[in-house]
Amino acid sequence: MAPTAAAERGDGAPWDLRGSEIQVFIENDSFGGTDQYYTSGIKIGGGVPAERITRLITRPPNALLDAISDGASNHFGLFIGQNLYTPRDITVATPQAFDRPWAAWSYIGAVAQSVKEDRLHTVEFDFGFVGAPALGRQVQTFWHKYIVDAPEPNGWGNQIRAEPGVLLTYLHKRRYGDSNGFQLVPHAGASIGTIMTLVRAGGIVRVGQNMTGFGPDSIEPGGAMLKNTRSEHDAGRRQPWEWFAFAGVDGRLIGHNIFLDGSLFRGGPGVARRDSVYDITAGLSLRIDKLRVSVTRIKRSEEFRTPLAGGGKQRFYSVNVGIEF
């Protein structure tokens, strides 16, 4: 007898890990030989198919879930993260009025994704703190002293003021092409909140074999989690390996960026933000069975300007290690 759709999803086993994942993202400009501006980011979390959560809470009939999702594959995830931003010279203890402010952002977040055929919808909600509660001073000081043997950061006393922050992001992706060969994956989305307000659009082109998902992402809100999709949406998931090379661009029109504008409610350091910013990306992704590793090189345009000079272009790397069950 042929297995039912419920059996293929593992619906008879609430703790079945199929479709679940653990994701770790690390971004750092020291990989590119600098230590300034957006200097580091980390995001760690995981995701599970939606029916795992609903079954554990109320065990609704699978037929009802399938009717609500209209055949889509829905996933939920939770994660924690931290981003650090500094001026060009981190050894200066006095305020640097003509450079990027010191800033840290630590947060917890939740993400929901829906995949149907070649369309991906992502909604992400983040809540956290900027300023001293984000522990930027402690993390960067430890990293420089014990991990990379870099100069001690002396200016954290000048960081943007402490306050809570929220961020709501939506991102939509489409996928065109064959999983063995060439694919085009455009995207568009928006973020709104006390941390950032922006609209964005762009895309990647990728070439490879047994390609799954919608390409790699950075820590940017709305894209950094839940690479895994069920086999009925990605034939490549039935293969024990995949690889692809990619290149892309992401353009953003920005109405608010707390890391440049400064604290929203308390005043403090800030700098003149540029209203448009773009990233040019390129990299490689490899999956062997459940393990995926992706490396992305990101070249970012100037994000701010001062009476003395511009903000300077920046290059950094994003590394993703994921286990996709």
pLDDT in tens, the chain (325 residues): 344 444 444 444 556 677 788 899 999 887 666 677 998 999 999 887 766 665 544 444 344 434 444 556 778 889 999 999 999 888 888 988 888 999 999 999 998 888 888 888 888 999 999 999 999 999 999 988 887 778 888 999 999 999 999 999 999 999 999 989 999 999 999 999 999 999 999 999 999 999 988 988 878 877 656 666 655 567 777 788 999 999 999 999 999 999 999 888 877 788 889 999 999 999 999 999 889 999 999 999 999 988 777 777 889 999 999 988 8
CATH of the domain at 116: 2.40.128.140
pLDDT per residue as tens digits for the range 233-276? 677 777 889 999 999 999 999 999 999 998 888 777 888 899 99
> In degrees, to the nearest 5, what angle opens at C-alpha 172 toward C-alphas 20 and 11?
25
Q: What DSSP state is assigned to residue 4?
A: P
Reported as half-sphere exposure (CB side, CA atoms, 13 A), residue 290 has a value of 10
Region at 71 (left for phi over 0; alpha for psi -120 to 50; beta for the rest):
left
Domain span including residue 28 = 5-324
Strand locations in the chain (E): 21-28, 37-49, 73-86, 103-116, 119-130, 163-174, 176-177, 181-193, 196-209, 241-257, 272-273, 276-288, 291-300, 304-305, 314-324
> Does residue 82 contact residue 101 with C-beta atoms inside 8 Å?
no
Residue-level pLDDT at 2: 40
Residue 140's closest CA among 187, 168, 104, 166? 104
CB atoms within 10 A of CB 225: 30
Q: One-letter amino acid identity for 161?
A: R
Contact 167, 126 (CB under 8 A): yes
Q: Within 238-294, where are the H helices?
A: 258-261
Which residues, listed in sequence order, are joined to residue 251 by a DSSP beta bridge?
201, 278
Is residue 197 within 8 Å of 254, Cβ to Cβ? Answer: yes
Per the structure, how many domains does the chain have?
1
The confidence score (pLDDT) of residue 135 equals 95
* The predicted structure's pLDDT at residue 71: 56
Handedness of CA 94, 41, 37, 104 (dihedral sign): negative
Q: What is the pLDDT of residue 31?
A: 67
Cα separation, 71 vs 65, in Å, equals 9
